[in-house]
Amino acid sequence: MSDKTMNLTLKIWRQKDAKSAGKLESYPISGISEHMSFLEMMDVFNEQQISAGNEPVAFDHDCREGICGSCSLQINGEAHGPDRRVTTCQLHMRMFKDGDTITIEPFRATAFPVIKDLVVDRTSFDRIQHAGGFVSVNTSGNTQDANSLPVPKVDADNAFDAATCIGCGACVASCKNASAMLFVSAKVSQFALLPQGKVEAKDRVLNMVNQMDLEGFGNCTNTGACEVECPKGISLDNIARMNREYMKAAIKKD
Amino acid sequence: MKTSIARKILMALSGFFLMFFLLQHVTINSLSLCSEDTFNSVSHFFGYNPIIQYILQPVLIFGFLFHLIMGMYLEYQNNKARNKKYAKHNSAASSNWMSRNMIITGIMILLFLGLHFYDFWVQEMNYKYVEALPENPTRYYHELQLKFVDVWRVAIYVVSFIFLSLHLMHGFQSAFQSVGFRHNKYTPLLKKLGTAYAILVPLMFIIIAVYHHISVSH
Ligand code: SF4
Ligand code: FES
């Protein structure tokens, strides 16, 4: 395997804490292998910063295999960078060319305030989940026989697809309106499609949408940017479904 | 009206209503290309029928104002939802220009409607209610032609219809998505229909304006 290396200029958003103003700083970095993941490149960068006695850049990460939703980053103006269906931890440096300048910013939304450098506070998503993203029945330890409640294959598949949302927030970061509709619609859909979720469907959609608005996310204008930038390929079908679920619930509300 | 989804649905419904109105408007105007008499009699009917004048016309004005004010309000809220903008945002990678700039195309249409209202509606109201001139069922064709004598006015109309087209390119299919209509088989068809509507309706208006400009100046 050939091992091409590249020299890059990184323009990184530096911000001391939530209250400071912050600004983009330029740093040269050399000898980056094309096989590295983007976060490995960031690790190399931070090690160099530490050896030079500088403050390393703070960024979020955990699983490094695209399943936890911790990593974020707006890379050259796109959430999780220029590749499709990958998170930043799965993004390869071979997507860039020797001599490139890479702009790295935090996900920006009023509901995602910056904590430090590239780390943003995404607890607004947790609060939306707490407002209704669950079923109230305790299923642990008393699992039913799966065949006792038949579910059509299409519904099961669609529910599963919706459930693959990792809550990363790339949809919000990409949307010109900083709308959280794709995330919320995935969480609404994964339950709305299954019999266990139907019981609380009405309250769920109303409460989650209400919380989404309270957090200060923008209004969806159907630009479709979220779907393109989502690392899990969550589809706009879910947003249409949530619009229907919402209409049903609002009309039937007592 | 309290939640973002309710506002989104209302925005779509007022959009449907306005798109239906446009279709009716373009159909009547097209008559002026075929027959002066038919155009005159249909215009006269629309201008003096009490149901159209006192019920449908106010509904139209309300629907339009609603769409306009709601559009501005959504834009204001959406700006607030990202208080710090990106230094670099490659939004063209994930969405088209029309979908991102509804506010710009919308404002251009609004400016045009200012002129359009002055050209036709204000003069019509003046004729009927201020000066209270007698009914004249044959005046419309001539009035229409006179408006398109001035080449600059025709140019403004043509450019405005292009903005209308851009607005509809996103608006048509977006309205269906907002009311929850989305289907693997029908949505792609609907998008094609939307593009056809967004091109043909404004194009027809352009043809009408240009036709009358040419026919009256020769
Ligand atoms: S919908 Fe996609 S982009 Fe949005 S939070 Fe879920 S996985 Fe991330
Ligand atoms: S670090 Fe877990 S998804 Fe990237």
The residue to mutate among A86, A183, A227, having the most atoms of ligand 1 within 8 angstroms of its beta carbon, is A183
Number of domains forming the structure of chain A: 2
Beta bridge partners of A120: A114
Domain locations in chain B as residue ranges? 2-217
Residue A172 domain-assigned (yes or no)? yes
Residue A146 domain-assigned (yes or no)? no
Residues A104 and A165 reside in one and the same domain: no
CB contact under 8 A, A239 and B177: yes
pLDDT digits (tens, 9 = 90+) for A35-50: 999 999 999 999 999 9
Q: What is the distance between the alpha carbons of residues A59 and A68, in angstroms, rounded to a whole number?
A: 14
Please report which ligand is nearest the Cα atom of A184.
1
Q: Say yes or no: A20 contacts chain B, CB-CB below 8 A.
A: no
Ligand 2 atom nearest residue A69's Cα? 3
Residues A87 and A199 reside in one and the same domain: no
Residue A222 domain-assigned (yes or no)? yes
pLDDT digits (tens, 9 = 90+) for B89-101: 999 999 999 999 9
Interface of B with A in 81-100 (CB under 8 A): 81-91, 93-96, 99-100
Q: Say yes or no: B114 contacts chain A, CB-CB below 8 A.
A: no
CB B143 within 8 Å of CB B195: no
Residue A2 carries which side chain, given as an amino acid letter? Answer: S
Residues A249 and A127 reside in one and the same domain: yes
Residue A142 domain-assigned (yes or no)? no
CA B69 to chain centroid, in Å, comes to 15
Nearest Cβ partner of B74 from A76, A114, A219?
A219
Residue A202 domain-assigned (yes or no)? yes
Residues A197 and A107 reside in one and the same domain: no
Ligand 2 atom nearest residue A67's Cα? 3
Phi-psi region of A117 (alpha: psi -120 to 50; beta: other; left: phi over 0): left
Residues A84 and A159 reside in one and the same domain: no
Residues A106 and A155 reside in one and the same domain: no
Q: Closest approach of chain A CAs to the CA of B61, in angstroms?
A: 23
Beta bridge partners of A29: A8
A62 lines ligand 2 (CB under 6 A): yes
pLDDT digits (tens, 9 = 90+) for A55-75: 999 999 999 999 999 999 999
Q: Say yes or no: A120 contacts chain B, CB-CB below 8 A.
A: no
Q: Mapped to the 3 state alphabet, what secondary structure does B152-196 carry?
A: HHHHHHHHHHHHHHHHHHHHHHHHHHHCCCCCCCHHHHHHHHHHH
Name residues whose C-beta falls within 8 Å of residue B146's C-beta, 6 or more positions apart in sequence. B216
* CATH architecture entry for B2-217: Up-down Bundle (1.20)
SS3 A104: strand
pLDDT at B152 over 90: yes
Q: Give long-range contacts, CB 8 A cutoff, 24+ apart: B157-163.
A: B157/B112, B157/B205, B157/B206, B157/B209, B158/B206, B158/B209, B158/B210, B160/B108, B160/B109, B160/B111, B160/B112, B161/B202, B161/B203, B161/B205, B161/B206, B161/B209, B162/B202, B163/B105, B163/B108, B163/B109, B163/B112
CA A154 to chain centroid, in Å, comes to 25
pLDDT digits (tens, 9 = 90+) for A166-175: 999 999 999 9
Pairing mode of beta strands A74-75, A101-105 = antiparallel
Q: For residue B115, what is the DSSP state?
A: H
CB contact under 8 A, A223 and B100: yes
Decide: pTM greater than 0.90.
yes
Tokens representing residue A215 in the block = 């957090």
CB A110 within 8 Å of CB B82: yes
Tokens representing residue A200 in the block = 């609380």
pLDDT of residue A2: 67
Neighbouring CB atoms inside 10 A of A143's CB total 7
pLDDT at B1 over 70: no
CB contact under 8 A, A108 and B7: no
**Whose CA is closest to A237, among A245, A71, B73?**
A245
Cα pseudo-dihedral A83, A86, A89, A95, rounded to 10: -20
CB A49 within 8 Å of CB A57: yes
Residues A15 and A65 reside in one and the same domain: yes
CB B74 within 8 Å of CB B7: yes
Q: What is the distance between the alpha carbons of residues A236 and A243, in angstroms, rounded to a whole number?
A: 11
pLDDT digits (tens, 9 = 90+) for B74-117: 999 999 999 999 999 999 999 999 999 999 999 999 999 999 99
Residue A158 carries which side chain, given as an amino acid letter? Answer: N
pLDDT digits (tens, 9 = 90+) for B12-64: 999 999 999 999 999 999 999 999 999 999 999 998 999 999 999 999 999 99
pLDDT at B162 over 80: yes
Task: Report chain B residues whose CB lies below 8 A from the CB of A108.
Answer: 82, 84-86
Which residue, among A177, A189, A204, would best test binding to B if mutated, counting the most B CBs under 10 Å from its CB?
A: A177
Task: Report chain B residues whose CB lies below 8 A from the CB of A177.
Answer: 78, 81-82
Residues A61 and A88 reside in one and the same domain: yes
Q: Which residue has a Cα nearest atom 5 of ligand 1?
A: A167
Pairing mode of beta strands A101-105, A78-79 = unpaired
Residues A186 and A227 reside in one and the same domain: yes
What average pLDDT score do residues A240-248 get? 97
pLDDT of residue A145: 82
Residues A58 and A173 reside in one and the same domain: no
Angle value at C-alpha A230, between A119 and A160, nearest 5 degrees: 115
Ligand 1 atom nearest residue A164's Cα? 7
Task: Report chain A residues whose CB lies below 8 A from the CB of B82.
Answer: 108-110, 177-178, 218
Nearest Cβ partner of A223 from B4, B95, B182?
B95
Which residue, among A128, A202, A221, would best test binding to B if mutated, counting the most B CBs under 10 Å from its CB?
A: A221
A89 lines ligand 2 (CB under 6 A): yes
Residues A27 and A68 reside in one and the same domain: yes
Phi-psi region of A61 (alpha: psi -120 to 50; beta: other; left: phi over 0): beta
pLDDT of residue A135: 92
Q: Is A133 exposed, middle or buried (0-12, 13-18, 19+ CB in 10 A)?
A: buried
Q: What is the distance between the alpha carbons of residues A56 and A48, in angstroms, rounded to a whole number?
A: 9
Residues A162 and A108 reside in one and the same domain: no
Residue A83 domain-assigned (yes or no)? yes
Range of the domain at A165: 122-135+151-253
Nearest Cβ partner of B81 from A216, A222, A244?
A216
Q: What is the distance between the alpha carbons of residues A106 and B202, in angstroms, rounded to a whole number?
A: 42
A214 lines ligand 2 (CB under 6 A): no
Residues in chain A: 254
**Whose CA is closest to A199, among A135, A148, A138?**
A135
Residue A140 domain-assigned (yes or no)? no
The residue to mutate among A41, A85, A89, A107, having the most atoms of ligand 2 within 8 angstroms of its beta carbon, is A89
Q: Give the nearest chain A residue to B103 (CA atoms).
A: A221
